[in-house]
Amino acid sequence: MSRKFFGTDGIRGRTNEAPMTAEMALRVGQAAGARFLRGDHRHRVVIGKDTRLSGYMMESALVAGFTSVGMDVVMVGPMPTPAIAMLVRSMRADLGVMISASHNPFYDNGIKLFGPDGYKLSDEDEAEIEGMIEAGVELVASEKIGRARRIDDARGRYIHFAKSTFPEHLRLDGLKVVIDCAHGAAYSVAPEALWELGAETVALGVSPNGTNINDGVGSTAPKLLQERVVSEGADIGIALDGDADRVIIVDEKGTVIDGDQLMALIGVSWANSGLLCGDGIVATVMSNLGLERFLASRDLKLIRAAVGDRYVLETMRNGGYNVGGEQSGHIILSDYVTTGDGLVAALQILACLVESGKPASELLRQFEPLPQLLKNVRFDGGQPLEATSVKAAIADGESRLNGTGRILIRKSGTEPLIRVMAEGEDEKLVHEVVDSICDAVKAA
């Protein structure tokens, strides 16, 4: 389904440039609010944000939009994306909004929408909202304008919820954890939750100033975390992204562990405990072939979905699976959450670490990944993947891999990038294939 404003994870772009303007935020508030006005009860929307400077502007515009169509607004301030999904359900709200561009730099921002069930909106809902944005909506009479208020205890509610997902018989006493919050939405809640569970915490990326979110910190820039884990003699490091819906782990030796290894650990642990549903886990087409082989060796399945945690979740719900995620660190544990939750996933990893008594470097290396390479090629427009030269380069790469690996080419749903990925038994060949296709895309 072609959409004009929404990508794979809401609306996203550079702030003060279309579509990420205050005017657009106002129209989104009006359209989404009107779309979810159902019944004669007082309608409510929960709005959270990360720590970007533009969050104040976008929040104000959204509040104006929602109240103008008769919806009451509850603002909770900087909070992780999964916290908004949780609060929508616990507060019996009709809609939830997260203002965030996730792992992007501070000058970008985005709008993610959640329905009353705490799940991200369907493609059909987003398409309908897009139509209402362009057509305009009817505003309510002055006496029916919604009210707006802030609540101060949302962080405590989320911390309590996150801790409730950690096994009651375990504690983190004696464990030294370095937590990197990317100067983002979890800068307060994540270190607090770990400390309350007994961990000795060293916190990085917890001093947001509006422009430093994801700047040399967080799950997409783990170098500082790697260094601090080693220098502090910590047992493990945890890196969240700007809105804390993804997690990357660093072992005690400073090695980065990606989402594939984390899903393998949680999946097998839950299977051994009788908690895993569906005899398998859901990942995306980007996940390593080594994960698939590892699960098969334990009589478990890997079900692949399109890229984007919303599509992972859709596949999980349709198939009755309760563990899924992405190599990038979006991990969905649907027994607890309706979207990716970096802190909740990290707590499951910490539970495995405590119970095993093993060092993280031994526990977290569940399988040997096949050589895999992903490169991004930025483009300014057009359809480079339709070029004959690009198609020929892809066909040549597939022929050279000759059934020993695979190639995946796709457009990013959040940035103007072509993502080129290949994996196979021969690392040198994988690099040659990716470079050849990237060169063709650049030339096109």
> 119-143 pLDDT, tens per residue?
999 889 999 999 999 999 999 999 9
Among all chains, which residue has been given the structure tokens 């994801």? 214
The DSSP line for 89-145 is HHTT-SEEEEE--TTS-TTEEEEEEE-TTSSBPPHHHHHHHHHHHHH--PPPPGGG-
Check: CB of residue 64 under 8 Å from CB of residue 148.
no
Q: How many CB atoms lie within 10 A of CB 304?
A: 14
Check: CB of residue 295 under 8 Å from CB of residue 280.
yes
pLDDT of residue 2: 57
pLDDT of residue 24: 97
Both tokens of 227, joined, read: 């260094």
Instruction: Give CA–CA dist 177/191, Å, rounded.
Output: 9
pLDDT over 90, % of the chain: 88
Query: Which of 12, 28, 202 has its CA nearest to residue 103?
Result: 12
Q: How many CA atoms lie within 13 A of 211 on its CB side?
A: 0
Told to judge if 102 belongs to the known catalytic residues of this protein, a careful annotator would answer yes
Return the amino acid letter for 99: I
Distances (CA, A) of 131 to 49, 62, 134, 162: 25, 18, 5, 37
Residue 139, exposed/middle/buried by CB under 10 A (0-12, 13-18, 19+)?
middle
Using only C-alpha atoms, what is the Rg of the chain? 22
> 232-272 pLDDT, tens per residue?
999 999 999 999 999 999 999 999 999 999 999 999 999 99
Average pLDDT, stretch 423-429? 92
- What is the CATH topology of the domain spanning 259-342+358-363? Alpha-D-Glucose-1,6-Bisphosphate; Chain A, domain 3 (3.40.120)
Query: Which of 316, 312, 177 has its CA nearest to residue 245?
Result: 312
pLDDT interval class at 405 (50, 70, 90): confident
Return the amino acid letter for 219: S
Of 57-71, 143-157, 236-250, 392-406, the one with minimum mean pLDDT is: 392-406
| Strand-strand pairing, 247-251 and 236-240 | antiparallel
Average pLDDT, stretch 271-293? 95
pLDDT of residue 351: 98
The fourth-level CATH superfamily of domain 11-152 is: Alpha-D-Glucose-1,6-Bisphosphate, subunit A, domain 3 (3.40.120.10)
Dihedral of alpha carbons 77, 79, 84, 88, sign: negative
> Domain residue spans in the chain?
11-152, 157-254, 259-342+358-363, 372-443
Q: Would you say residue 67 has pLDDT above 60?
A: yes
The DSSP line for 181-222 is -TTSTTTTHHHHHHHHTT-EEEEES----SS-TTSS-STT-T
Among all chains, which residue has been given the structure tokens 């949780």? 86
Q: Do 11-152 and 157-254 have matching folds? A: yes
Average pLDDT, stretch 66-71? 98
- What is the CATH topology of the domain spanning 157-254? Alpha-D-Glucose-1,6-Bisphosphate; Chain A, domain 3 (3.40.120)
pTM of the model: 0.90
Strand order across the 247-251 sheet: 200-204, 176-180, 236-240, 247-251, 256-257
Which run of H or E residues covers position 284? strand 280-284
Check: CB of residue 293 under 8 Å from CB of residue 323.
no
Average pLDDT, stretch 190-197? 98
| Strand-strand pairing, 44-49 and 72-78 | parallel
Helix, strand or coil for residue 148?
Answer: strand
Instruction: Give CA–CA dist 73/79, Å, rounded.
Output: 16
Assign domain 372-443 to its CATH architecture: 2-Layer Sandwich (3.30)
Q: Which residues contact 270 (CB under 8 A, 6 or more apart)?
A: 276, 322, 323
Q: Would you say residue 1 has pLDDT above 60?
A: no
Of 36-40, 149-153, 164-168, 197-201, the one with minimum mean pLDDT is: 36-40
- Residue 148's DSSP bridge partners are 73
Average pLDDT, stretch 64-84? 98
Among all chains, which residue has been given the structure tokens 């097998």? 268
Check: CB of residue 437 under 8 Å from CB of residue 420.
yes
> 196-216 pLDDT, tens per residue?
999 999 999 999 999 999 999
Instruction: Give CA–CA dist 254/229, Å, rounded.
Output: 6
- 54, 68, 100, 102: the active-site residue: 102
Q: Would you say residue 432 has pLDDT above 90?
A: yes
Q: Which of 122-126, 247-251, 284-288, 371-375 has the highest mean pLDDT?
A: 247-251
